[in-house]
Amino acid sequence: RGSLSRLPPPGETPAHLGGRTAFGENVEDEWFVVYLVREITREFPGLAASIEDNDGEFLLIEAADFLPKWLNPENSDNRVFFYKGELHIIPPSETNEQEWDLSAASPTISEALTLLATRSEEFLAAEPIRTAVYKRISGYPEKIQASFHRAHCYLPAGIVAVLRQRPSLVAAAVQAFYLRDPVDLRACRTFRTFPPDERVMTIVTFTKCLYAQLVQQKFLPDKRSGYTLPLPSDPQYKAYELGMKLAHGFEILCSKCSKASPDSKRNVLSGPLWERFLRSLKEKSYFKGEMEGSAKYMELLHMAEDYFQQSVIEPESSVETSPGDEILALLQTATIDLKEFEREAACLPPEDDDSWLEITPDHLDQMLKEVRSESLASSNEEEQNYDLETVAESMKAFVSKVSTHEGAEMPWSSDESHVAFDVDSFTEALDRILGADSEELDSDDLDEEEEFDFSDEDDEDLDAENQRQDQEVSPNELIGSLKSYMKEMDRELAQTNVGKSFITQKQEASSVKGAASQNAGPDSGAEGSELTPVNVDMNLVANLLESYSAQSGLAGPASNILQSMGVYLPENADNTGSSKGATK
């Protein structure tokens, strides 16, 4: 339950409307509030609204995969707003002279409102960010009705009368029962407020979350309470059980009512401000011609009183009303006609089917498939134009990214960063490593020297002479020597299983004659492969596809890395799980 009220300006923040809503375990209620806030800013273009929860800027959490790199929890204060029905994000370059200064302080509310009022079109959030947020609130307001569940309940007549005037109190009652403790249940031994003597059948509207919380808990009432249940085989067992649990929730709320004077609310509603407010309502036909004292008139009057206390009078002078106080106040003014309730119980509409509480394994699989298909909907076109070169280029771009203590940076797409090889820069780097300025050997060289046995007494003089000669060698000669070492290593690897496992350019070109080459001896294959360059892209793609196939449709390193870069591999149609079919 929540509402908006006028709040005084705290510090530099101007006067504004604010509110707080406890949504409990029903996250959909939170996103419904987001929908309402967005619609308010759409209806009143001069308003800007920000919203956050216990986790902070949860709108940014929802769109975390698409946020700019500069945006983080430390600098997101006073940057995210709904304005004119659209999501806006104010970047740091607009609040500090140094562009993208991540250490820059967040803007004040006044600065942010000024920027939104003058240049809001420049701060419109990126399309992927808005799409991720708007997807969560899509379907409203039609989706509201789908979240309700109507069920028969066998309740005390007093609770039926209260719910007729305040249907929203069912949420507080369910929460009180759901979060009960042994101290709360002490009040449920005698039931002073809602005894079980006068109970009637009625229909109560829950949200699906509230209904699930109430029906899924196993609970037996205290024998001293007077609440009894029929046999589980009885057709009305569920209605009796729901009514018993709901009655416990209402009794717990009443037992927690404040000890304030019963006249405190009456004192608040007896001043001249309330009289002017009530006179204004009557002049604007708020009561719709209802006779004063009638049930409809009293219902509208109670709604006006609640609004007056929460929104019109100053918060510090108002008396905060707990659910228990509100229930007791309603009982004093409500008309309890037991015979009328019984007549209505005889023609109640049917309750809703609660089969949605049970999820079969097949239904769960279907739900997971739908979620996966929705997540891949934006990449359908990319899958249709599937190209193995995209996989190789994306992996190269990932390897070329610089990693920090915060983790590896994922490129958004393979087009964002391409791997480039500059021969001159590579030569200069080798000069710096192996050039004349380097006088030290690495640990491997020192270990190799210790393995030799030098018997000549002038070995130290010869080593010094060799070092002076090495320093006079040109960089080109050093590079040539390094290449010769690399070729020698290639020759040795070509004779091993590791060397034979690589796909070479010669093997790729003669793939049509693959059967003939397999009949050749192992020596001839090694001799041919040692002179043929390895096809890096083909080996990379083959290994990725093999890893992806081994995942068997589940999450794994290959799919996680590629999907984070915007590359989605199609499902493997080969039942054998081999990646060869995918590479063809």
Q: What is the mean pLDDT of residues 362-386?
A: 64
**Burial class (CB within 10 angstroms; exposed 0-12, middle 13-18, buried 19+) of 121:** exposed
Number of H helices, E strands in the chain: 29, 7
Q: What percent of the chain has pLDDT over 90?
A: 20
Q: Considering only 25-29, 230-234, 264-268, 363-367, which range has the smallest mean pLDDT?
A: 264-268
Is it the case that residue 444 has pLDDT exceeding 80? no
Q: Which residues pair with 149 in a beta bridge?
A: 206
Is it the case that residue 450 has pLDDT exceeding 70? no
Is it the case that residue 275 has pLDDT exceeding 60? yes
Q: Considering only 119-128, 150-159, 488-497, which range has the smallest mean pLDDT?
A: 488-497
Is it the case that residue 578 has pLDDT exceeding 70? no
CA-nearest of 147, 166, 215 to 1 is 166
Q: What beta strand segments (E) does 342-452 contain?
A: none
Is it the case that residue 311 has pLDDT exceeding 80? no
Q: pLDDT (tens digit, 9 = 90+) per residue, 169-208?
A: 999 999 999 998 888 888 888 888 898 888 999 999 999 9
Residues 560 and 568: beta-carbon distance below 8 Å? no
Domain ranges of the chain: 2-138, 147-257+324-346, 263-312, 536-565
Q: Could you give the C-alpha distances from 16 to 9, 110, 461, in angstroms and in order?
A: 7, 12, 87
CA-nearest of 206, 208, 117 to 168 is 206
Q: Considering only 52-66, 278-292, 296-310, 364-378, which range has the smallest mean pLDDT?
A: 364-378
CA-nearest of 277, 287, 284, 359 to 311 is 277
User: Quick one: pLDDT band at residue 248, thresholds 50, 70, 90?
Assistant: very high
| pLDDT at residue 525 in the model | 46
Q: pLDDT (tens digit, 9 = 90+) per residue, 477-522?
A: 777 778 888 888 877 777 777 777 777 766 555 554 444 444 444 4
Most confident of 14-23, 143-152, 284-293: 143-152
First to last CA, the chain: 60
| pLDDT at residue 452 in the model | 44
**Mean pLDDT (the chain, rounded):** 75
Residues 59 and 31: beta-carbon distance below 8 Å? no
**Would the pTM of this model clear 0.75, i.e. be above it?**
no
Tokens representing residue 135 in the block? 């997807």
Residues 184 and 129: beta-carbon distance below 8 Å? no
- Reduced to 3 states (helix: H, G, I; strand: E, B; else coil), residue 477 is helix
Q: What beta strand segments (E) does 166-307 contain?
A: 199-207
Alpha-carbon distance 400 to 77, whole Å? 33
Most confident of 252-266, 287-301, 448-462, 484-498: 287-301
Residues 88 and 125: beta-carbon distance below 8 Å? yes
Q: In this predicted model, which residue has the larger pLDDT, 419 or 13?
A: 13
- Reduced to 3 states (helix: H, G, I; strand: E, B; else coil), residue 203 is strand
